[in-house]
Every structure is written in C-alpha cells, then in structure tokens.
Structure 1
C-alpha cells in the first residue's frame, strides 16, 4: 500500500481508550484451531491505542491467510525472518509480545530457547531486551494437564512470562474472550509484574436479604469495580482471591472466586480467608447491604396484602478481617454536595474501618457509578488526608490507579517490596 495513504483499518485505533497510545505491540500467532480469535485480539489492542505488528509461524499461515492480519492491523504480517532481521526490530521497538494462541510446541521452544520459528525467535529476543512477553496457551486438555507442560509453564513463569490461562471446556484448553485477553495484556504492558509475590483479596458485588421465598432487598451494584480490580491485580502478577455477591459482569476463569449471597456470608468468608494468611492488599469494593430483614417470611407474601418490613443493621464485612493486611482499601459511595463533603465522607469511612486508602464516589451525580463502566472517583490517603481526583474514568483505569497507590504505600513502608 502507498506509504502516503492511511490504511482504513487504523481508524479504530484508540476508539476504546488511549492506554496503549505510543506503544508498538507484537502479536505472535501459532497454528491452533482457535487462530481466528487472534484477529479480534489484534483489533482489541488497536482499540486501546496500540500499533499492532503480527508475526505467524509457517504452520499458522496455512490455517489463516497473513493478508487477513494485514487487513486487521494495517501492517504486513511477518511469516519469515529475513535480511531485515524483523525479530530484532520488533524486540527493540515494541513494548511487548503477546503469543495468542500459543501451541504446546511454540511454548516449549520459548521456554528452552529453540528459535526455529519467527514467534519463538522474537519472544526470546524480547526477553533478552527485558520486554514484556505474555502467552495464551491453546491445546488439548490432556496436554495442558501433562507434567511435561507443567514444567514448561513453570519455566516460562520463572522467565517473567505472563501466562493467561486458557478456558478449559469440552476437553480442550480454549482461547479466552479476546476482549479479556487484550485487557489483561494492556495492564501487563503498562505495569509489568510489579505485584508479583503479593497476595490480594478483593470483594465485589451486591449482597441480598430475603423478604420471603421469592423477594429480596439488594442494591444496584454490578460488581464491575471489584472484578476489574481483581483482573488488574492478576495481570500484574499478584495472587488474587475474589469474594463476591451478585454480579452482572463475567468473572474470568483464572480468578479464584468465592460466591456468597448475604452480607453475613461475605463477612464469614472474609474471616475465614484472613484467618489463615495475611494479605498484602485487601480491596473492599463490594456493596454489602447495611441492613437486613429482621424476620423474613418462610413462605410467599400474598400480593394483595399490606406489610411492614423491619430492617436491622448487618455486620460490617471489613470488620471481620482477622489478620490485618498491609494495605486496607475501602470504598465510600455517598450522596454529597461537592468535593468537600465527598472528602469528609471518605475520611469518616477511613476512621471507621482503619483503612489506608478510601475510594470515594458520589452516587447522586450523573448516570455513572453503579452498573456503569465509568465512575467519578477520588482516592483519599487516610494518613495525610491528601487525595487524587481521577475524575470520570473507566473502572479498569480506576483499578489500575488504585493498585498503583496501594503499591506506592507498600513500598514506602517496606522499600524492598
């Protein structure tokens, strides 16, 4: 294509976010039945602002035409490394490499330094340059469970490779949702494994209190903020536990989750988890009910009757923490008039729970917040009373900034973290 002409496929660049603006990322594609999903992954990265360069193994190019990837990204796909030594150029100029899908064969080659295909060659060169490399394994379930593959994966992890686990279904290790893959890889490119070795507990979603057998009291929380925080922590190398009530967003298969229904159950699960270990970071992003029905009916209330429902206080879930984490984060959603009231509400919540950081957001402004992809937030530092206003942002961006704050606090208390 004439170098003076802009490829039409580039028009989608940055339409979701500009997180990866200025970043070149390489996408390595190997020969899997899920190969077609790499096209959506490439486009997903572009929508986040990335300049995507694709390279395929010869076997992959027999399953899907490299021309399709040129159409998808606006750049010629690389199938062979020639005199232009493309692997060096990509390793030097790109911020990271995502191998998706990644076959058993190519994963083994990356792990053990065998460079007989352009994807493995580029991955090894990128690791040598200290760049980010992530893989999405795709193979039969039996191969994925084999001790040989276990050794390969452990070796890759020890080399700093982020493994985005496949979704096991129908006897195969399948490619996850391309949107999710792009979302995880974006955080990895931007932050690396800066949370590696840390244990993070996150709560998410709404709890319920039953009125009778078919009706309950709840709130409109979708759980998105907590789930996004769990994904962000995973992408940056943390070991993550997620305790969640009712959520309206999908919880990734690679997040260890504990579903609960009531506020009491959430408090009990938090108590159980924090009894056996000390978490580095606890993020209380859930919206547990502050009140519960005192005497729920054991049957179904007749629709033509008039009833009085008595509510009583529910336990405070963060008060059930047994071993205090190094950093405790609570949320304060409140009806306020201006930032001064919002800040006061956050500091009150910090005092109430002994929180180190409080994420404050007004629930009476705009159509964002509960059940929205966006929120208006202020992160308040309890010890100093200082704060950073994020304004209106996507919740995944809020999660990233929140964990940045938590990590900075950890490092200030323990420089070796």
Structure 2
C-alpha cells in the first residue's frame, strides 16, 4: 500500500539519526518514493551520501541550494508529498513547527506542505517531559499532526526513561496503518469506463468525440490507491494503465456495453466516466466511400444506452456514479439524467468553461445526488477531482 507514495523523510540532529537510514531503506523497499531532507546538525550524525544511496534520490539540506531552475525545491517537495515523516524529531524542530518558524529546508517544507505530517520525537527524558515541549506537542496534535510515541529505556545521554525514538519497524507499522485508514474502498470491486468510443463509417473513417480518458484513468488510479480492485473498460486512448488496475480495451459502444454488463453483477461500485457515442451509422460500408461532388447522407441509429442498462440492473447495495458533460442548465440536466438512469451520484461539468471538460488536465465539477448539490469543486487537477469523488463514495459506502 506504500507503493508509489512519495514520502518525505525529515531527519533532524539527534543521535537517533542513524535509525533513519534503516527507515529510509525499508520505505524504499516497500515501494515508496522517498525524498530525504536533513538539517545541518543531522549531517553531523549521518552522512547525506548514506541517505542518498538508500533513497536513490539526492538529499535536500540547504534551502538556497536550488539545482533545478524550473522549480523552487522546498515547494516542489511539499506539493508532491503524500506524507511527511520527521524521524528523529528533536525538541528544537518540534518547537519550530509549533511556532511557525521556517529557517531551514525541513521547517520551510513542513510549513509549505498540505500533506499529513508524522513526528517521531527523540530526546532526553527530562526534555521530553519539559512543560514547554509538552505544550508544543499538544499544540501540534491540535493542528492534526500525528505523533509516534517514543520508547522507554536506556538513552544515549546515559539516562533511563522515555525519549528514545521508536524503532524503524514501529514507524513502518504506523505508516502502513495510516495508509490503510486512507483506503475507504478496501476489499471493494470498482468498475470504471473511460475514454471515447469510435463508430466506424467505412474502413478508414469513424465517428468519435474529444474525450481524452484522463478523468476516468485518474479515478481508476485513486480508487486503486483507496484499496479497491479496479477494472477499467477503456476506449482508444494513449494513456498508461495505472498500477494495480486491470484494463480491457474496446472500440465501439456495443463492445463497451458487452464488457460492462459482463462484469456488472460482480461490482460494488460502477463509475461511468466514458463518453460513449449516442449514435452510429446504421450501415457500415465495407469499402471506402469515394469523394464526389454531391452531398453525402448517412443514416444514424441510436446505440444502446449503457447507463440506463446499468441503472435498471443495479442492485440496492451497488453504488452507481455517472458523468454529465453539459453546456447549459448544468444542474437541471444533471439531476434529470441521474434520476432517469438510476444513478446514485452524478459528476457534472460545464464543458464550455476554460479549464474544464475534454482534453484538459484540470476540471471544474459539481457532485449531485437526487436531493441536489452534494459538493461543488473549484478548478483543480483531474487527479484531485478523482480524490474528492472517491472520498464522497467512501463516505456513502460506510454510512
């Protein structure tokens, strides 16, 4: 469950810094993308080269050591973090975070990130029990920071008591437990449709649409990270299948219908994000239609309404989510579609808005159920839209 997660490992200046090498190694072996930040004092206890070799990435130390002119390093690390773990965390670092001090790479990154933060304290027993340190930790806990309790026993300073950093195996277990709690779809089967369909006219021509498949693939990736067993039925798109997702490629609306109905009964959640053709040529020519000086008339027939079929057949314990790409009266059309087709949720967007709709990396959507608006989202990446959608589905699943 840590595979592919970007974990920022912050190491501050305490003797327990040597344990961070084992933690970095274990996280990397578990499939995490580990980015290490060391304070200057941490480098007195363990070399950056050791952490670079174990994490397979350059270690960040100096806020002003900008190697890539395309990004600001601490912001880039902060933005891409799924989790920040500070181990060991000295009393000094804890105090900085509690009071918003940003005077080095680690504290600056922690203030800039929106990712969850875990702290594994390590210090002398009397420092750990000092009222100021306890107050700082309580303040950080109130802000949602997670603390991994230190152990008791002989300390490097010669004292015996509480203050030794938790062992790397304990921290690994805590991180695993954290990510498990973030898997609201664990054990569930999710069926997703994505991309366009293409309807042939003759051997060289077809009807299709502008769907890129990016939204459906983002949902598949997030659903898999949320613990689900994910199947994606995809029209022709040049996108890489997300890790852990089973993909079935189709061309036409009829092929998509067959694949969906074949797997419908086994699915707990059905998310129909594909842009399926509503019409297809009634007759597909076996030879290329030659150009002439006259008009060409094609007779079209309706394709099977896959969403309506799913709505008719879905069971009470299944969640059915649809999409509505609209150009006007978005709420009215979206709720009407949801009710007509037996959906539980619908994700609607106005494709005329800049930053929304087909082909973009961002979207602007509103989630509706039969009672109206559930959640309105501002412009954000399709990955973040997918995260919000999966969170709403998870809440309903466990309600």
Normalized against structure 2, the TM-score is what?
A: 0.61
Q: Which has the larger radius of gyration?
A: 2
Counterpart pick for 1:242 among 210, 214, 232: 232
Question: What is the rounded CA distance, in whole Å, between the counterparts of 1:369 and 1:73 in structure 2?
Answer: 41
Is 1:131 matched up with 2:175? yes
Is 1:345 matched up with 2:313? no
Question: What is the rounded CA distance, in whole Å, between the counterparts of 2:262 and 2:391 in structure 1?
Answer: 27
Q: Deviations over 1:159-200 (max 9, x none)?
A: x59xxxxxxxxxxxxxxxxxxxxxxxxxx59x6222211111
CA drift of 1:52 comes to 5.4
Tell whether the 8 Å contact from 1:88 to 1:122 is kept in structure 2 after alignment: no
Count, aligned residues: 285
Tell whether the 8 Å contact from 1:42 to 1:52 is kept in structure 2 after alignment: no
- Structure 1 residues 396, 374: closer, same or farther in 2, change over 3 A? same
Question: What is the rounded CA distance, in whole Å, between the counterparts of 1:280 and 1:373 in structure 2?
Answer: 28
Tell whether the 8 Å contact from 1:326 to 1:410 is kept in structure 2 after alignment: no
| Aligned counterpart, 1:212 | 202
For structure 2, list consecutive stretches of 5 or more residues without a partner in the other structure.
1-5, 11-19, 66-85, 95-115, 120-165
- Structure 1 residues 195, 65: closer, same or farther in 2, change over 3 A? closer
- Structure 1 residues 210, 409: closer, same or farther in 2, change over 3 A? same
Question: What is the rounded CA distance, in whole Å, between the counterparts of 2:325 and 2:338 in structure 1?
Answer: 13
Normalized against structure 1, the TM-score is what?
A: 0.59
* 1:12-411 map, 5 Å: 25=9, 30=25, 41=33, 61=50, 64=53, 69-71=58-60, 87=87, 89=89, 95=117, 123-128=168-173, 130-132=174-176, 188=179, 192-275=182-265, 277=266, 279-304=267-292, 306-321=295-310, 322-324=313-315, 326-336=318-328, 341-382=329-370, 384-411=371-398
Q: Deviations over 1:194-247 (max 9, x none)?
A: 221111111101001001101110001011111100100111111111111122
CA drift of 1:288 comes to 0.7
CA drift of 1:253 comes to 4.3
SS of the counterpart of 1:211?
strand
CA drift of 1:303 comes to 3.3
Tell whether the 8 Å contact from 1:347 to 1:358 is kept in structure 2 after alignment: yes
Q: Deviations over 1:294-352 (max 9, x none)?
A: 1111111123454211211111112333443521101010111xxxx211011111112
Q: Deviations over 1:87-117 (max 9, x none)?
A: 5549x987479xxxxxxxxxxxxxxxxxxxx
- Structure 1 residues 248, 361: closer, same or farther in 2, change over 3 A? farther
- Aligned CA-pair RMSD: 4.1
CA drift of 1:287 comes to 0.6
